[in-house]
Amino acid sequence: MVSLGCPKALVDSERILTRLRAEGYGISPDYHGAEAVIVNTCGFLDSARMESLEAIGEALQENGRVIVTGCLGAEPEVIAGRHPRVLAITGPQQYEAVLDAVHAAVPPDPDPFTDLIPAASVRLTPRHYAYLKISEGCNHACRFCIIPSMRGRLVSRPAHAVLREAEGLVASGVRELLVISQDSSAYGLDLRHAEERGHRAHITDLARDLGSLGAWVRLHYVYPYPHVRDLIPLMAEGLVLPYLDIPFQHAHPDTLRRMARPAAAERTLERIAEWRAICPELTLRSTFIVGFPGETEAEFQTLLDWLEEARLDRVGCFRYEDVKGAAANALPDHVPEEVKEERWHRFMEAAQRISAGKMQARVGKVVEAIVDAVDAEGATCRTWADAPEIDGNLFIDAGFEHLQPGDIIRAEIEEAAEYDLWGRLVGMKTS
């Protein structure tokens, strides 16, 4: 399995592999030990589409028998036009079609003594953390995005099913649950927030239920609806990590309107202040787009000014690019590439300066962190302010020998850079 794209696609890959394992299939660590290769593709940006097509080509060259699934699979003509030798092409979440393609390529060899034994879920993350997908699809119509056309409208999982999966993950040793969807704050809207088996399908109720399991709970992709405020007390109480991943995308009202995003940037600053008043330890992460069609220098300067006032903790930025099928392609006044590049550098310089100041302010403080890896040189950890693979790390280079991945420790911060921290171990979390 070659899995590309976002954590939501990674969860799809885990589900496919789990089903195949349950049918008796083995999973090869490389191309040459496999009878077929599944490539789970990403199709969100043109650069991601190219990466997916290159991965399919590499799999064909190295193995020759390739099944394609995922978001780019929603455009089979693109894949078939570039790689006509693929065995099958399926779209996102089409698990049964993927299994049918595997059965055709590598017929199953059932074993009556083992096939009735339930298989443990296959996970592609380290043992101590796991992604927990709570819904599929999205009801928004942002002009730069084609996710709704690929993955459909919002479809939420019943809350009791999410809790059952989370309980199983925690029982298997998971110490951190990363809640993901396309729009986590809209969770349960399609179900009218119905209660079933004692659990209500609403993000606040779900977060509270997950927080009772004893693991870290980290919320991703939270759209800034007003009811997000109800999550902040759960963070202040310690039930949920004080971490919000909110894709603001821009700050100028006109740019946001062209994007078809909420345009109340001033209200957003008020909400951020309210959240921080309730939970001073709150870490805010967001992503932005610079160079969106029609973005003027004045609009971009508004974004920089907003960033200075918002003082976000973790910031990512994309240069706008056309995506096949996106409504933004037809907008007038596209920004020249050199202007996008120049604005991106200015934005990132401001974001790094803000981040460096916030990290420096943590020197001397004792923080809680989870251990991700240990080698001969030290332990690589993350504080509750850092999500895996996208945020920074905390490095411990003395007294780490007894640590193991998944341990939750207490460390005093001694040094800081723009994104990473260095510290000394002062204790272990005992409960």
Co-location of 101 and 248 in the same domain: no
Residue 118 domain-assigned? no
Q: Is 385 part of a structural domain of the chain?
A: yes
- 55 occurs within a structural domain: yes
Does the residue 110 lie in any domain?
no
| 355 and 393, same domain (yes or no) | no
> Do 18 and 79 fall within a single domain?
yes
Rounded-to-integer distance, Cα 41 and Cα 51, Å: 9
| Unique residue bearing structure tokens 């971490």 | 243
- Give the separation between CA 18 and CA 121, rounded to whole angstroms: 5
Instruction: Provide the residue-wise pLDDT of the chain in tens; the chain has 431 residues.
Output: 999 988 888 988 998 998 898 888 989 999 999 999 999 999 877 888 899 999 999 999 999 999 999 999 988 999 999 999 999 999 888 888 999 999 999 998 766 555 544 456 777 788 899 999 999 998 888 899 887 787 789 999 999 999 999 999 999 999 999 999 999 999 999 999 999 999 999 999 999 999 999 999 999 999 888 889 999 999 999 999 999 999 999 999 999 999 998 656 568 999 999 999 999 999 999 999 999 999 999 999 999 999 999 999 999 999 999 888 889 999 999 999 999 999 999 999 999 999 999 999 999 999 999 999 999 999 999 999 999 989 999 999 999 999 999 999 999 999 999 999 999 999 998 65
Q: Output the CA–CA distances (angstroms, integers) from residue 93 to 11, 267, 411, in the order listed.
A: 10, 36, 41
Q: Are residues 209 and 264 in the same domain?
A: yes
Indicate whether 293 and 279 sit together in one domain: yes
In this structure, are 272 and 308 located in the same domain? yes
Q: Same domain, yes or no, for 271 and 348? A: yes
Token reading at 86: 């693929």
Query: How many domains in the chain?
Result: 3
Residues 302 and 320 in one domain: yes
Which is nearest to 303 in space by CA: 285, 320, 291, 321?
291
Examine the domain organization and report whether 223 and 349 are in the same domain: yes
For residue 421, give its domain range.
Answer: 366-428
114 in a structural domain: no
Residue 140 lies in a domain: yes
Burial class (CB in 10 A: 0-12, 13-18, 19+), 257: middle
Return the structure tokens found at 379: 């332990």
Angle between helices 95-105 and 7-22 (to 10 degrees): 50
Question: Residue 393 is part of a domain; what is its CATH number?
Answer: 2.40.50.140
Q: In CATH, what number is assigned to the domain containing residue 222?
A: 3.80.30.20
- Alpha helices by DSSP H, listed for 35-186, are 46-62, 76-82, 95-105, 147-151, 159-171
Tell me phi and psi for residue 181, to 5 degrees.
-175, -170
Whole-model pTM above 0.85? no
